[in-house]
């Protein structure tokens, strides 16, 4: 049996904690599952510690944050593990090997948090530039070590710290983003699905581009040949540019962000589809109402909104919002056309999302076939023991 390290503070599960689930791969320990005495309660956020079960058997090395509801995150089930540059490099190299089998060009999600063995860490790769989200206290504390390992393994020269994730606040972390190595001269051109996207790594939403929808963009492009298409909550042209590259007659992108639509327009120009691309800036619901009054109809309508239910307390309100989106969007789809509805809400599972979408379509007086269900691409692996790692849901209906 591997002997545990003796130089780390020890934290211990309560007798009623589900130690079996943790041994079988669950990566999180919640605050009510851990003995939080005066010593544990005073540990600085992000402290590396040894986790024991209630019988004092070593379970592995964890990162502890007494200020978070997720009080401990499993880093390594080997109780002798040392969390250093070499350890990071091993996890990163394994993740990189998987992505390089999938994609010829270096544009993808490189690290998908717990599913890649780096809890709370998200890294998106844009060629020579890496956008790093250290969304847990331990990763924020060890950011320089993490970047050293990323640079050694990938050879990248530009690193941007993105601190916009909502989970950072839950960890007691700041929201200050910065370029921490190299320099960013402007938006980065990203080739994907036959189109060119512009990603703003320093001022855009999340890390600048949503790689998770890549496979769903490609499926939508197959449906869009020869069609007029509408992309609502478009961001930098996600679905619209892919559908144009796939042969759509023209595309209209709708988003509240004027800077995002400007990047979408530039992407269309670089893709050679600028003359077939248009935008409307404004509230998505108001724009859809306006299009309905105009009698507009599209062969494909896509709605990819932000998370309406990022946590359980917002679940019911979020489901009502998804139903409303489906009802409004369904009225804009031509007979025999397609409606794609997406959700990135952790608190809404596929069944609930599908039911809310179907209710909305029915309320619009439309009859539908569900022709395809999608999720995030293979550069966003799912940890089977953590439902939250499989957050993205895309439904394609024919009306």
Catalytic residue annotation: 344
CA distances from 39 to 11, 12, 36, 43, 169 (A): 9, 12, 8, 7, 24
Strand order in the sheet with 298-303: 277-281, 250-255, 228-232, 298-303, 333-343, 393-398, 369-374
Cα radius of gyration rounded to whole Å, the chain:
23
d(CA 255, CA 286): 11
Q: Dihedral of CA 81/86/88/90: which sign?
A: negative
Pairing status of strand 333-343 against strand 298-303 = parallel
d(CA 272, CA 161): 32
d(CA 69, CA 79): 23
Structure tokens at 67: 């200020």
Instruction: Provide the H-helix boundaries in 166-232.
Output: 166-170, 214-223
Question: Length of the chain in residues, anyone?
Answer: 399
Instruction: Provide the H-helix boundaries in the chain.
Output: 19-23, 38-41, 85-102, 137-141, 143-154, 166-170, 214-223, 238-245, 258-271, 284-293, 315-330, 350-363
CA dihedral (285, 287, 290, 296) in degrees, to 10, reads -110
d(CA 347, CA 96): 29
Q: How many C-beta atoms surround the C-beta of residue 376 within 10 A?
A: 24
Contact 183, 342 (CB under 8 A): no
Instruction: Provide the H-helix boundaries in 272-378.
Output: 284-293, 315-330, 350-363
């Amino acid at each position: 049996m591997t002997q545990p390290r003796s130089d780390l503070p020890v934290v211990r599960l309560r007798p009623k904690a589900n130690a079996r689930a943790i041994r079988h791969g669950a990566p999180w320990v919640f605050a009510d599952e851990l003995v939080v005495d005066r010593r544990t309660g005073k540990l600085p956020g992000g402290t590396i510690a040894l986790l024991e079960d209630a019988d004092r058997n070593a379970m592995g090395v964890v990162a502890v944050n007494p200020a978070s509801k997720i009080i401990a995150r499993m880093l390594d089930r080997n109780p002798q593990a040392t969390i250093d540059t070499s350890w990071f490099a091993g996890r990163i190299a394994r993740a990189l090997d998987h992505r390089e089998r999938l994609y010829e060009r270096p544009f993808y999600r490189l690290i998908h948090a717990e599913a890649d063995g780096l809890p709370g860490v998200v890294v998106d790769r844009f060629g020579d530039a890496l956008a790093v989200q250290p969304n847990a206290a331990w990763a924020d504390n060890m950011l320089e070590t993490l970047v050293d390992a990323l640079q050694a393994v990938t050879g990248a020269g530009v690193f941007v710290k993105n601190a916009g994730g909502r989970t950072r606040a839950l960890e007691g972390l700041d929201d200050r983003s910065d370029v921490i190595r190299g320099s960013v001269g402007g938006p980065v051109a990203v080739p994907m699905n036959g189109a060119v996207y512009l990603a703003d790594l320093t001022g855009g939403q999340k890390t600048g581009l949503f790689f998770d929808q890549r496979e769903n963009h490609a499926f939508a492009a197959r449906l869009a040949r020869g069609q007029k298409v509408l992309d609502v909550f478009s961001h930098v042209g996600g679905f619209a540019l892919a559908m144009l590259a796939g042969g759509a007659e023209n595309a209209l992108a709708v988003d509240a962000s004027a800077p995002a639509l400007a990047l979408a327009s530039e992407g269309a120009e670089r893709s050679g589809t600028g003359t077939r691309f248009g935008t409307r800036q404004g509230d998505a619901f108001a724009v859809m109402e306006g299009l309905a009054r105009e009698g507009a109809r599209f062969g494909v309508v896509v709605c990819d909104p932000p998370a309406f239910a990022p946590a359980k307390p917002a679940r019911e309100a979020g489901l009502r919002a998804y139903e409303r989106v489906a009802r409004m969007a369904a009225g804009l789809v031509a007979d025999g056309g397609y409606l794609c509805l997406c959700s990135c809400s952790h608190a809404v599972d596929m069944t609930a999302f599908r039911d809310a979408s179907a209710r909305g379509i029915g309320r619009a007086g439309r009859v539908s076939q569900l022709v395809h269900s999608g999720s995030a691409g293979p550069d966003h692996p799912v940890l089977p023991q953590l439902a939250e790692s499989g957050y993205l849901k895309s439904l394609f209906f024919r009306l």
